Copies of this chain bind each other. A is one copy, B any other.
Amino acid sequence: MGIIITIGREFGSGGRELGTRIAEKLGIAYYDREILEEISKKTSLAEEYVTQVIERKPTIHYPITIANSFGIYDNDLNKTQNKIFAEQNNVIRDLATKSDCVIVGRCADYILRDYNPFRIFVYADMESKIKRCREKREIDKDLSDRQMKRYIKRIDKHRRDYYEFYTGLSWGKKENYDICINTSGKKIKDVVDEIVKIFQK
């Protein structure tokens, strides 16, 4: 098994950009959108629907590992969610065994745990996240700071719920990652340069 890097990230922290920069520097694959496309193909569900289900928190709050053993998943939406998560497992494992890669989000750190991935978590303070979202136009630019903050918090809540539901682990807790990187007040390019400089040979 070669290099597998997984990146968990707070919305607006620049995790995606960090992922693409690392993949570029190392000359290895970067997977994000491709995963959804593959799941869509394999489940015959529309890609948009797959995205929506993945980014939406599951409706029942027991971690899946507990819920499965009590057989309490009987409604159709939960069945679809679990089918998509199972397919996501397969797709991510396939991609990771095919070649060296960087995978952003999607519980990849947990799904690939037997392959010993290098697990990164990227975070920042709220001010920096709002600034980055405005610069990158990731959110409607007409929103006030207060509205943006609410939007960012909502997305991160979904990520947290989704991650914790499917893994039983705490999202963003430093003990679950190999390194955690704070991008507050920094450009992603500079973060990469800064860390290179510190650990240079």
> Which A residues contact B (CB, under 8 angstroms)?
3, 5, 22, 25-26, 118, 121, 123, 125, 172, 174-175, 177-182, 192, 194-201
Contacts and interface: CB of A to CB of B under 8 A. Distances in A.
Contacts of A199: 22, 25, 192, 195-196, 199
Given A25-B200, A123-B175, A196-B201, 13 more contacts: A22-B198, A25-B199, A123-B174, A125-B175, A175-B182, A177-B182, A178-B181, A178-B182, A178-B194, A180-B180, A195-B199, A196-B196, A199-B199
A97 B22 CA distance: 33
Contacts of A22: 198-199
Contact of A118 (B5, B125, B198, B201): B198
A194 B4 CA distance: 12
A177 B195 CA distance: 13
Contacts of A118: 194, 198
A126 to B, nearest CB: 11
B177 A179 contact: no
Nearest to A102: B198
Name which of A172, A175, A182, A199 has the most chain B CB atoms within 10 A of its CB.
A199
A182 B109 CA distance: 15
A190 to B, nearest CB: 11
Given A174-B174, A180-B174, A200 B196 contact: yes
A196 B179 CA distance: 12
